[in-house]
Amino acid sequence: MGHEVERLIIALGLVTGAGCGDNLQPDPFVGLVRVSGPSPFAELCAGRQQGTNFSGIEVEPSVAVDPTNASHLVGAWQQDRWSNGGSNAIGTGVSFDGGATWTQRTPPFSRCAGGDAGNHGDYDRATDPWVAFAADGTAFLSALVFDSTTARSAMVASRSSDGGLTWSDPTVLRADDDPDVTNDKEAITADPMDPGRVYVVWDRLTGLTRPAEPLSTGPTWFTRTTDGVWEAARPIFDPGIDAQTIGSVIVVLPDGTLVNAFNLITSSSSMAPVNTLAAIRSTDKGLTWSAPILIAPMNAVGVRDPNNREGVRSGTVLPEIAVDRGSGAIYIAWEDVRPGKTFDGIALVTSRDGGLSWSAPALINGGPDSSAFTPTVAVAAGGVVGVTYYDLRDADLADASMFRTSAWLATSYDGGLTWRDEPLGSSFDLRPASIVDAYFLGDYQGLVVSAGAFVPFFVGATLDGDDKTDVFVRPANEPQR
């Protein structure tokens, strides 16, 4: 959400490669490709707003791989994050060589990116980008858009028929302008077997003007395409008063069943809300849905800089889900403090009966004595499971000048029973990613499988002047450790 004028490099389609600039310190991202770059927008591109804009800070990336071409990737991220939520715009990138080079674009989801009343992009800010490919190779992008000084918010979606080089004007899936209501945290999923079916799911919150009273609701809302046309959005699960859902993500099983995983929050107005990992199922392409299946408590305590105690905004309330297209096994990962621990790790559960029953949570991160956060999960051919996450195993308590954070890929070749870790570059200092009072790389990151290789798509903090964070990718042709 944010700045308005695109620089010439974006208009021409900037192609980026590896490297992080001429830093005095060793590059922690050797072997990775930097996808994003400096802000393409002029200062105050959407006018003066409340809050502080951090130009050049990219966060919260999503990535998808074309089912018709494994070398074709599309990614998205928030461009120029604001201190009080959202960003100037949604940035996107497209690669046709497995992630080695990228072309950047800024779809018209907000005023800074060319949005106006005529193209449905007349909003101050955009956030929560999510991308997907339909079975025929059409790319889809969804996001939440909103104003900083009015109550307007909307869920929108766009499509690209040329692989992500250009995007359609956004389609409004649901819009609200009531100060007591807002839409939040959507995800878009395409049916890998039916090119006419794409699904978007999110939560719609009420009671915002009286948050301390047990009056709010937060049902899960849903829409889908039928033969490429978006249907009217509707609620599919309502947890009732003083409760809400958040973090819904849908996967499509090999038999066509939809499983939507989410965080069910009860006693939401209290000082101690209860978070529970839950799922609902649909066997008729989203027309009807089951009652919720309660899977496990979600008990993250959060992460802090051990030296200055500044917090890390991480994916504490968001589950991530993936399905094995061969066996139908479902995996859900989330940030959690497990029994016997006092800090967050990465928990994982598995279902082998279509989401009806689930295994007990297992801790899978490779640094069990340090905090780990913000996992993302994917499944490769042969049932190999991959989970990316950050952790603090390299944090140096004796060095108060830095907050070393590492990105990792854990893989399992036996259905989640055992795991091995590999680093995604070297540890980096997280402090450049400070946004007012918390470090922020995004509530989620991206991970896909391309040509049999896991392709992590994640944000790292850099030392490149005002460009303090960037989106990085390990290309599919990069040797897997």
pLDDT at 280: 98
Provide the pLDDT for residue 480. Answer: 56
248: enclosing H helix or E strand = strand 243-252
Per-residue confidence (pLDDT) for residue 478, from 0 to 100: 63
pLDDT value of residue 340: 86
For the cut 50, the answer to whether the pLDDT of residue 216 exceeds it is yes
Over residues 171-204, the pLDDT tens digits come to 999 999 999 999 999 999 999 999 999 999 999 9
Res 481: pLDDT: 52
Higher pLDDT, 299 or 398: 299
C-alpha 148/C-alpha 145 separation (Å) is 10
In tens, the pLDDT along 310-339 reads 999 999 999 999 999 999 999 999 999 988
Residue 400: the pLDDT is 85
- Rounded to whole angstroms, how far apart are CA atoms 141 and 121? 14
Hey, how many other C-beta atoms are within 10 angstroms of the C-beta on 191? 21
pLDDT value at position 457? 98
Q: Tell me the two tokens of residue 382.
A: 């042969």
Radius of gyration of the chain (CA): 20
Note whether 455 and 474 are within 8 A (CB): yes
Residue of 186, 318, 182, 322 lying closest to 251 (CA atoms): 322
Count the helices and strands in the chain (H runs, E runs): 1, 35
Contacts of 389 (CB under 8 A, 6+ apart): 333, 346, 365, 372, 373, 374, 375, 376, 407, 408, 410
Q: Which residue, 432, 416, 426, is CA-closest to 346?
A: 416
Cβ burial, residue 417 (10 Å; 0-12/13-18/19+): exposed
Reported as a single tens digit per residue, the pLDDT across 251-301 is 999 999 999 999 999 999 999 999 999 999 999 999 999 999 999 999 999
| Per-residue pLDDT, 4 | 28
**From start to end of 352-414, where are the E strands?**
362-363, 372-379, 385-391, 404-412
pLDDT given at position 231: 98
Measured distance CA(205)–CA(182) in Å, rounded: 5
Sign of CA dihedral 99, 225, 78, 308: negative
Residue 40 is classified by DSSP as -
Instruction: Mention every residue, 6+ apart, whose C-beta is less than 8 A from residue 248.
Output: 185, 186, 187, 201, 202, 203, 220, 260, 261, 262
Backbone φ and ψ of 381, nearest 5°: -60, 145
C-alpha distance from residue 43 to each of 103, 204, 284, 466 (Å) = 23, 32, 48, 13
The domains located in the chain, with CATH, are 298-458 (2.120.10.10)
3 pLDDT higher than 60: no
479 — pLDDT class (breaks 50, 70, 90): low
> pLDDT class for 415, splitting at 50, 70, 90?
very high
Does residue 196 sit in helix, strand or coil?
A: coil
Query: What integer is the mean pLDDT of 362-390?
Result: 96
Angle in degrees, CA 359, 365, 371, rounded to 5:
120
Burial class (CB in 10 A: 0-12, 13-18, 19+), 31: middle
Average pLDDT over residues 47-56: 93
Strands (E), 291-355: 293-297, 303-304, 311-313, 320-323, 330-336, 345-351
CA–CA separation, 68 and 13 (whole Å):
23
Average pLDDT over residues 440-445: 98
| Tens of pLDDT, residues 11-49 | 223 333 334 444 456 799 999 999 999 999 998 998 989
Per the prediction, the chain carries an average pLDDT of 92
Here the tokens at position 295 are: 């899977």
Mean of the pLDDT values across residues 109-132? Answer: 97
Mean pLDDT, to the nearest integer, of 63-80? 98
Q: What is residue 432's three-state secondary structure? A: helix
